[in-house]
Chain A
Amino acid sequence: MPQSIRHDRRIHPGSGRRRAPDHPKGRQVDPAALAEVQALLGARERRRDLLIEHLHLLQDHYGCLHVRHLAALAEEMRLALVEVYEVASFYAHFDIVMDGETAPPLTVRVCDSLSCALSGGLDLLAQLRNRLGSGVRVVRAPCMGGCDRAPVVAISGVPARSPEEPSPGGVSKGRGVGGHALHEHASLDSVAAAVAAGDTHPAIPAYAGLDAYRAAGGYRLLQSCRAGERAPEQVTDPLEKSGLRGLGGAGFPTELKWRLVRQEPKPRLLAVNGDEGEPGTFKDRYFLETDPHRFLEGMLIAAWAIEASDVYVYLRDEYPQCRVILEREIAALERAGLAGDVRIHLRRGAGAYICGEESAMLESIEGKRGLPRHKPPFPTQVGLFGRPTLCHNVETLYWVRDIVEKGPDWFTGQGRNGRKGLRSFSVSGRVREPGVKLAPAGITARQLIDEFCGGMLPGHVFKGYLPGGASGGILPATKADIPLDFGTLEGEGCFIGSAAIVVLSDRDDMRQVALNLLRFFEDESCGQCTPCRVGTEKAVRLMAAPNWDESLLAELARVMTDASICGLGQAAMNPVKMVLKHFRNEVLAPGQESGGLR
């Protein structure tokens, strides 16, 4: 019997053990925070798919996401608290600050992905923590697409100064645009100086603006398409003949994808994947930073071909300078009437590699956590907002104009070793001249290094290479004479993917290389499916052992490859498989080395 009862227990049936809460269940919205959120959002629509955009507004303005604002945002957008929170907590660039916590004034993100790690990124991370002290938050971060200028650091803070218009044709600072400053070739001193200067705004590189692009014949093809001077087939035929394939990494024939979407009922949508996150890859960045309109024209031609009403450009948040360029140039082409009836929506990622997977990207554009979808149905049938959607990588669209104007033969004529076409290789690591290398498809790694990259760095001996970023596997130097193209590496258990070539040398420890890559996958796994979520975590733990448990890793690799939902989990164990195949002595005990991966 309940004994500890208050006086009035005698007349009421309650136990009187507790006091009633003084408010309804759960967090209540703070009216002041609601007013702040309303002021910040202004007249912007409160649509659910804009959630990530609105979170960016808060993050940019306050330098973090205070939970009082998240609750207010939920109220304002008529979402449940958890719908806002789970999205905010999924993306690495959102910093949720709980009640009573304070936001750091400045955050320094140090890239620890492979190319930067090879260039001393990890030491820099450790040293910056000491050097910058507690007033600055120093955290690790995955690849920022500056692999050819490693190590790379991003500095972000609260924008305190007034916006300054960036301009084409000259390097300027994109102030007030949110995001961060990318510091390349970073050193302890250079970062400390930038932090001291409060240099948190992206540097806008020189690029060809609308006028320059038009002066060189730009947008004539688009206009001729729109004017009816060209039938869609006159665009798609050259594309088909050129053999252009999806350059985000999957290599799906471009023309076929357009055809599939065109078969579906309208309204159809185009979603551009600018979430170039594969470690070692920076080609899309290169094209956006140099010739954005060539991409935009390709995009609008694709939209015209599939009769898309809306185009969504999903750009990774690691490229704030590209966002400034695109914002500016999309506005310019809209002003010039070149967008036609197509509504162009620029959407900002928020730090999640998985959103480079096309269906995860669609989820993210819809304002959700970036979880890949099950296929089928494919996005061509059921894509963005449930509509038939053409998903394309930036670079794929970049080539559309040139292929149509110059003809497919121009493209196919450029190949080597029996392969056809051009590829943009992102080369980083132990070469003398890293960077984006526009080279013939089918070129070998050795040719690429020797002919395009000035050879190996002095004092480094070519030991191996990653042919396709973190997920494409690892090959030894003895396998450096294989043509690099779609379909040529699969026999080796590798693939070219986004053509991110990371070159390794005799100074590199393959155990550390594999562990670096697995840690990346472990962190970037969306967590949705068991094999990938648990598998990457277990793999990292197993790989930390002095000697790898080869059979257990092999079993783990098998379930991850066979049963993961998307390519991340399916490919995550490629580094492990390849190291066990080609660099066994570096990870196994002396007696254990014979045999090999089944």
Chain B
Amino acid sequence: MTEPIRFFLDGEEVEAQPGETIWQVATRCGIEIPHLCWLPKPGYRADGNCRACMVEIEGERVLAASCVRKPAPGMKVRTASERARFSRRMVFELLLTDQPARAVAHDPGSRFWHWVDKLDVADGRFPRRPQPAPDRSHPAMAVQLDACIECTLCVRACREVQVNDVIGMQGRNWHEKIVFDFDDPMGTSTCVACGECVQACPTGALMPASLVDENGVYANAPDRTVDSVCPYCGVGCQLTYQIRDDHIVAVAGREGPANLNRLCVKGRFGFDYVHHPDRLTEPLIRKDGASKHDIDIDPANPYTHFRKASWEEALDRAAAGLRRIRDEHGKRALAGFGSAKGSNEEAYLFQKLVRTGFGSNNVDHCTRLCHASSVAALMEGIGSGAVTAPFTAAGDADVIIIIGARPTENHPVAATFFKQATKRGAKLIVMDPRGQVMARYATHMLRFNPGRDVALLNALLHTIVEEGLTDRQYVQAHTEDFDRLREHVRDYSPEAMAGICGIDAATLREVARLYARAEAAIIFWGMGISQHVHGTDNARCLIALALVTGQIGRPGTGLHPLRGQNNVQGASDAGLIPMVYPDYMAVDDPAVRARFEALWGTELDSERGLTVVEIMDAIHAGAIRGMYIMGENPAMSDPDVSHAREALAKLEHLVVQDLFLTETAKYADVVLPASAWPEKDGTVTNTNRQVQLGRTALPMPGNARHDWWIIQEIARRIGLPWSYTHPRDVFAEMKLAMPSLNGITWERLERESSVTYPCDSEEEPGHDIVFGEGFPTPSGRGRLVPAAIVPPAEEPDEDYPMVLTTGRQLEHWHTGAMTRRANVLDALEPEAVASLAPAELRRLGIAPGARIRVATRRGAIELTARSDSAVAPGMVFIPFCYAEAAANILTNPQLDPWGKIPEFKYCAARVEPIAAQAAAE
């Protein structure tokens, strides 16, 4: 079977590798065969339906589709016989007959027209069919099936590549039709607008709406393209910006290691925030006397509270304020928030500014709010906070656990790999109090009681230990403290835990066995694990599961906390954390500190700095008086955000650097207009530890400036002699500080776009899967840390009888500063909603779509009720991206003791209807 197959192609003897099709061999041999329904891209199965690639095989009665047909030994294939060419041409003529004229084509540069040109097919001689009406119901995509050739590439794109399962073929014969769900308009279907179908369509029947005019005719042809990386989530999809007149008009997926050409709705259609009129284009200085307690400032018109300033004045003012506080109140009176949305270079510079310029370790970023507890547990358990395997390892797994994560919404492209794995036969176990799309692909869906993760996971550990399902050799060779864990989980039998976690004992045992006995099993988790006061404990249990079963360090195994932001991994690696320097080297380790003091040529603070929520408390306490915030929006993202906003208002001096006048920037004394991701060069590190290069695609608007330049200008003004000329200079310095960047250079990234760390040398690819031979802990072993049940910090009671949980939506990115300014995303999810179970709404007497009030002990917000059967009765889910009803007004700021992460996923709440007249106002 593995022997090459020798056959004859147009008279020449050639070799085919096993599995290769005639088309592939021909293409390799330089023979061009037309093709429409065959898309030679990863994930696309050849379907052989269009018959544009027919070839003649000696001795066969009819022609064969070369895209699906595999050669047999000795077979004689003729690609250019009169018979084959005749059929191919006729196929094009038949299809051309029913196409819209090229002058009014939806995509005159489509693959279809490319081949029509190549084959020189004139007009179709056949009578035309009646044509279907266009469907322009979707804000992102134009459906114009008059150009459809029923090749089913969109069906395969939707069902086999992205596995969103929306597109299908209705009916049969020439009346058959591409449909969404039940032939619903695309805009009201279950379509999640990943746009894979648009990217796959060979005719323009499916087009980005931005590339056709109101008549459906091609418009806005790009004049150039730039390869870069998506600015949104931690998946790190590579993409290509299509640009016309210095505006992005469309985005296409690129074949990056994490996305294989796939994108989601944000990456593909959420690009126009960069061109939004709200963009800050001039430095702003707060007007004298403008209140900080009235944040009702229109981002499109900041001049009610701010005045324009020159860069010189703004930078001088910004730096002077910081310098004054440092000099008058001491180093620890300042703090800085960097951002996981910036580049590695920006993160590195920012933490270096705080550490060497401000003089303390008071620097943090939103990792504190997402995976700080996961990282704490991972550092403690296996000595590394990063994933042990990329999410694409799901492709090699037999069993996949997804817990506390909703990848179809928050890591949509990663989710495609999980769904594909289940189609291949992998068993999927989803654990989430809320129902979710992944459940349809799951063999087990465990909707456990919210906040009862440890009970659930300890029951699994109990079963594995009690039933002898541990990997004894692995435990002996690579772990420590197993006895302590074994003793601890003895009390957590599934039978005892069933009542607590809400999953019956038999299911718990079955799942434990499934995971432990799998050849290769992998665990993915998200904020549902980390954003609890017991977040670190939750993660400890997951680590223990992997360690006691040896499901780590091999293909298809591992621990993978799905990182949220495009560069949360990189920003953390770069040291945007108060306890550690770059590469997680502890600030309170004298030897480490000495090294960084030598590298940076200055004395460094030996104390750990404060974390995000601690900094807010320190402001209230008067300890911190000035802040520099780059690209973070704590006025939306912090728990109990009223408290955070009061803190921001209390600051003596606040410098905010951002794209928009965010809710945080409204409290600023100086606002510095920054660069959007497509406007700069820089590297970012995704959840898979893949360091990827973003490239400048657009000029900056107005007087906006590159972030690295702004940081450097501030640094210079507070006494640091910096002279970087480009991010590549910063990257070169980072390599001196960070062994993890071994083997990765700027030049290599320019060449390869993506390199995984750790990487042994510049010539080799990095290691996808790590810890096959022990862990980077002092003992070299993975540490098993038992976790006891800690209840959520605030349980429902009579006054607040429901459980509020917060999170994200597919369409919106975090605090909404970017995505709510992207037209398509805003159209799809335009306003604040609270999701409740249909039964719960009925019980409360609330109609879907009605205005409701959600209150907790911290505050109350008003928003629209959404009926969603995925939400359990007794729960309410609110995304935190909506400024008009900021969910974090409600959330509980209680912290996990190790990760210092707040409990965003659980607090007590009350939901009540609002009288109709009030809602109408």
Cβ–Cβ contact B62 & A563, under 8 A: yes
Q: Which residue of A lies closest to B850 (CB)?
A: A22
Cβ–Cβ contact B830 & A23, under 8 A: no
- Within 623-650 of B, Cβ neighbours of A (below 8 Å) are at none
Cβ–Cβ contact B51 & A16, under 8 A: no
Chain A CB within 10 Å — which of B65, B150, B174, B298 has the most?
Answer: B174
* Least distance between A321 CB and chain B CB atoms (Å): 26
Cβ–Cβ contact A82 & B94, under 8 A: no
* Least distance between B875 CB and chain A CB atoms (Å): 15
Partner of B94, one of A13, A526, A527, A530: A530
Decide: A81 near B54, CB < 8 A? Known: A90-B171, A522-B173, A559-B90: no
Cβ-Cβ contact count across A and B, 8 Å cutoff: 235
Cβ–Cβ contact A562 & B63, under 8 A: yes
- Within 158-214 of B, Cβ neighbours of A (below 8 Å) are at 159, 165-176, 179-184, 188-192
B126 at the interface (CB under 8 A from A): yes
A contact residues around B838 at 8 Å (CB): 31
A12 at the interface (CB under 8 A from B): yes
Decide: A374 near B65, CB < 8 A? Known: A24-B866, A530-B91, A533-B176: yes
Cβ–Cβ contact B166 & A82, under 8 A: yes
B474-482, B556-564, B746-754, B816-824: which lies at the A interface? B816-824
A80 to B158, CA, bound (A): 11
A90 to B866, CA, bound (A): 35
A534 at the interface (CB under 8 A from B): yes
* Least distance between A418 CB and chain B CB atoms (Å): 25
- Within 813-838 of B, Cβ neighbours of A (below 8 Å) are at 816-817, 820-821, 823, 826-827, 829-833, 835, 838
A contact residues around B49 at 8 Å (CB): 528-530, 565
B contact residues around A332 at 8 Å (CB): none
Cβ–Cβ contact A19 & B831, under 8 A: yes
A56 to B72, CA, bound (A): 42
A13 to B816, CA, bound (A): 7
A563 to B95, CA, bound (A): 14
A contact residues around B54 at 8 Å (CB): 562-563
A29 at the interface (CB under 8 A from B): yes
Cβ–Cβ contact B816 & A534, under 8 A: no
A contact residues around B190 at 8 Å (CB): 25-27, 80-81
Decide: A525 near B127, CB < 8 A? Known: A80-B166, A563-B87: no
A85 to B416, CA, bound (A): 23
Query: B-facing mask of A1-23, CB < 8 A → 1, else 0?
Result: 11000001111111111111111
B884 at the interface (CB under 8 A from A): yes
B848 at the interface (CB under 8 A from A): yes
- Within 340-389 of B, Cβ neighbours of A (below 8 Å) are at none
A58 at the interface (CB under 8 A from B): no
Partner of B125, one of A28, A533, A552, A558: A552
Decide: A28 near B181, CB < 8 A? Known: A17-B827, A82-B166, A563-B51: no
Q: Which residue of B lies closest to A8 (CB)?
A: B884
A contact residues around B469 at 8 Å (CB): none
Chain B contact patch, size range: 35 or more
Query: B-facing mask of A553-570, CB < 8 A → 1, else 0?
Result: 001101101111100001
A537 at the interface (CB under 8 A from B): yes
A538 to B175, CA, bound (A): 13
A83 at the interface (CB under 8 A from B): yes
A369 at the interface (CB under 8 A from B): yes
Q: Which residue of A lies closest to B825 (CB)?
A: A14
- Within 596-645 of B, Cβ neighbours of A (below 8 Å) are at none
Q: Which residue of A lies closest to B304 (CB)?
A: A10
Partner of B62, one of A23, A354, A570: A570
B contact residues around A535 at 8 Å (CB): 94
A156 at the interface (CB under 8 A from B): no
- Within 269-309 of B, Cβ neighbours of A (below 8 Å) are at 277-278, 295-300
Q: Which residue of A lies closest to B439 (CB)?
A: A78
Decide: A22 near B867, CB < 8 A? Known: A14-B816, A78-B440: yes
B446 at the interface (CB under 8 A from A): no
B contact residues around A2 at 8 Å (CB): 277
A542 at the interface (CB under 8 A from B): yes
Q: Which residue of B lies closest to A2 (CB)?
A: B277
Query: B-facing mask of A512-542, CB < 8 A → 1, else 0?
Result: 0000000000111111111101111110011
* Least distance between A51 CB and chain B CB atoms (Å): 13
Partner of A534, one of B87, B95, B821: B95
A contact residues around B69 at 8 Å (CB): 374
Decide: A20 near B831, CB < 8 A? Known: A26-B188, A525-B174: yes
A28 to B868, CA, bound (A): 9
Partner of A27, one of B181, B868, B884: B181
B contact residues around A536 at 8 Å (CB): 173-174
Q: Which residue of A lies closest to B818 (CB)?
A: A13
Partner of A527, one of B63, B168, B173: B173
Cβ–Cβ contact A541 & B126, under 8 A: yes
Decide: A13 near B165, CB < 8 A? Known: A29-B869, A352-B172: no
B129 at the interface (CB under 8 A from A): yes
A563 to B869, CA, bound (A): 49
Q: Which residue of B lies closest to A70 (CB)?
A: B182
Q: Which residue of B lies closest to A521 (CB)?
A: B173
B contact residues around A531 at 8 Å (CB): 51, 87, 90-91, 94
A86 at the interface (CB under 8 A from B): yes
Partner of A542, one of B127, B149, B832: B127
Decide: A13 near B440, CB < 8 A? Known: A28-B869, A524-B173: no
B219 at the interface (CB under 8 A from A): no
* Least distance between A238 CB and chain B CB atoms (Å): 30
B contact residues around A480 at 8 Å (CB): none
A563 to B86, CA, bound (A): 10
Partner of B173, one of A18, A19, A26, A526: A526
A71 at the interface (CB under 8 A from B): yes
A contact residues around B51 at 8 Å (CB): 529-531, 563-565
A564 to B91, CA, bound (A): 10
Decide: A16 near B830, CB < 8 A? Known: A534-B98, A537-B173, A542-B126: yes
Q: Which residue of A lies closest to B883 (CB)?
A: A12
Cβ–Cβ contact A13 & B827, under 8 A: no
B contact residues around A538 at 8 Å (CB): 94, 97, 126-127
Please give the residue numbers on chain A whose beta carbons come within 8 Å of chain B beta carbons, in ascending order.
Answer: 1-2, 8-29, 31, 67, 70-71, 78, 80-83, 85-86, 89-90, 96, 98, 352, 354, 369, 374, 522-531, 533-538, 541-542, 552, 555-556, 558-559, 561-565, 570
Q: List 24 A-B contacts (CB under 8 A).
A: A1-B277, A1-B300, A2-B277, A11-B295, A13-B820, A19-B830, A24-B835, A27-B190, A82-B166, A85-B170, A86-B169, A369-B169, A374-B48, A525-B174, A527-B174, A527-B175, A527-B176, A529-B48, A529-B50, A530-B51, A535-B94, A537-B173, A537-B174, A538-B94
Given A11-B295, A80-B165, A81-B166, 11 more pairs with CB closer than 8 A: A8-B884, A10-B297, A13-B821, A19-B849, A27-B184, A67-B182, A70-B182, A527-B173, A527-B174, A529-B50, A537-B174
| Shortest 3 CB-CB contacts between residues of A and residues of B | A26-B190, A22-B849, A80-B165
Please give the residue numbers on chain B whose beta carbons come within 8 Å of chain A beta carbons, in ascending order.
Answer: 48-52, 54, 62-63, 65, 68-69, 83, 86-87, 90-91, 94-95, 97-98, 125-127, 129, 149-150, 159, 165-176, 179-184, 188-192, 277-278, 295-300, 440, 660, 816-817, 820-821, 823, 826-827, 829-833, 835, 838, 848-849, 864-870, 882-884
